[in-house]
Amino acid sequence: MKLAYTIATPEVPRLSLGWAGDAGVICRELAEVGYQGVELQVRDPALFDGAKLRRTITEAGLDIAAVSTGQIAEEGFHFTSPDEQIRRRAIERFGGALRLAAEYGVDVSIGSVRGQVGWAPSRDKGIDWLRGAIEKLLGEAARLGVRIVLEPQLRLRMDYLNTIDEAVAFARSFGSDQLVIEADTYHMAAEEQSLPAAIVRGRSSGLVTYFQLADSNRLAPGLGHLNWVDIIETIKATGYDGWLSIECLQRPDSRRCAEQALRYVGALI
């Protein structure tokens, strides 16, 4: 397994769950700490030079692990907004993230950009809007050879698809190899009866292809009360050999968060 750290792309000025600032400086520091890659939090790929960013990352000796899209939601775009224009803009913006991910040869995630179904006139209508958005994007993803990674989130942030099992059932309903699932330990800790058991079920489904790590309080691993020995050993036991990406609150600062996570998780893997 390889460790990545979440960073902002150049058009994102601030990032509560990742390192924001000069990408060259950040990547050099992460490489110095011992990371092997970065996960990119993107808001609008049209506002920066993707090829230049890739060169900056590779020159630091790092790989790109994934493209994430939470910042699209921060700008107010969601797939389940009651405003049709907002739904359309969300799909268009996510399409840009898909094209960026294809340029980098990585997957792209759907997290908060899916929106709340409670915003729709009914739960069924909200699910219909989400399904319609994903169906459109899956066609583009297939054309580009990119997978879309659906992230279950805890109920304090999302009012549906909160658990791994719910996300697996939803993803299977599309019958597409382009739709897979991301497991985030912070969200899982709040929603799953047993975090290790949920990891096993998710990996057994063949759909969980990526992991994000944060502790129970969303700080860096080792600063909360999750049992990281059990978590990492369970992930290992499922045969997973991909990226473990750190996505946590940047407290007390990004450098010390990165060092804490690398020291703690790195020793276990």
Closest CA to 242 of 178, 198, 182, 175: 182
Report helix, strand and coil shares of the chain as percent, to nearest 5: 50, 15, 35
**Quick one: pLDDT at residue 106?**
98
**Quick one: pLDDT at residue 218?**
98
Non-local CB neighbours of 32 within 8 Å, separated by 6+ positions: none
Beta carbons of 78 and 118 less than 8 angstroms apart: no
Closest CA to 12 of 44, 37, 39, 57: 44
List pLDDT tens digits, range 113-148. 999 999 999 999 999 999 999 999 999 999 999 999
**Quick one: pLDDT at residue 59?**
98
Q: What is the largest CA-CA distance in the chain?
A: 51
Query: Domain boundaries in the chain?
Result: 2-268
- 174 φ/ψ angles, rounded to the nearest 5 degrees: -85, -20
Quote the CA–CA distance of 166 and 43 in Å, as a whole number: 27
- 3-class secondary structure, 112: helix
- 3-class secondary structure, 25: helix
Beta carbons of 18 and 8 less than 8 angstroms apart: yes
Hey, what amino acid is at 177?
A: D
Quote the CA–CA distance of 5 and 3 in Å, as a whole number: 7
Which CATH number applies to 2-268: 3.30.390.30, 3.40.50.300, 3.20.20.150, 3.30.1360.10? 3.20.20.150
Beta carbons of 78 and 86 less than 8 angstroms apart: yes
| Per-residue pLDDT tens digits of the chain, which is 269 residues long | 999 999 999 999 999 999 999 999 999 999 999 999 999 999 999 999 999 999 999 999 999 999 999 999 999 999 999 999 999 999 999 999 999 999 999 999 999 999 999 999 999 999 999 999 999 999 999 999 999 999 999 999 999 999 999 999 999 999 999 999 999 999 999 999 999 999 999 999 999 999 999 999 999 999 999 999 999 999 999 999 999 999 999 999 999 999 999 999 999 99
**Quick one: pLDDT at residue 190?**
97
Non-local CB neighbours of 267 within 8 Å, separated by 6+ positions: none
- 3-class secondary structure, 216: coil
Mutual angle of helices 23-33 and 254-268, in 10-degree steps = 30
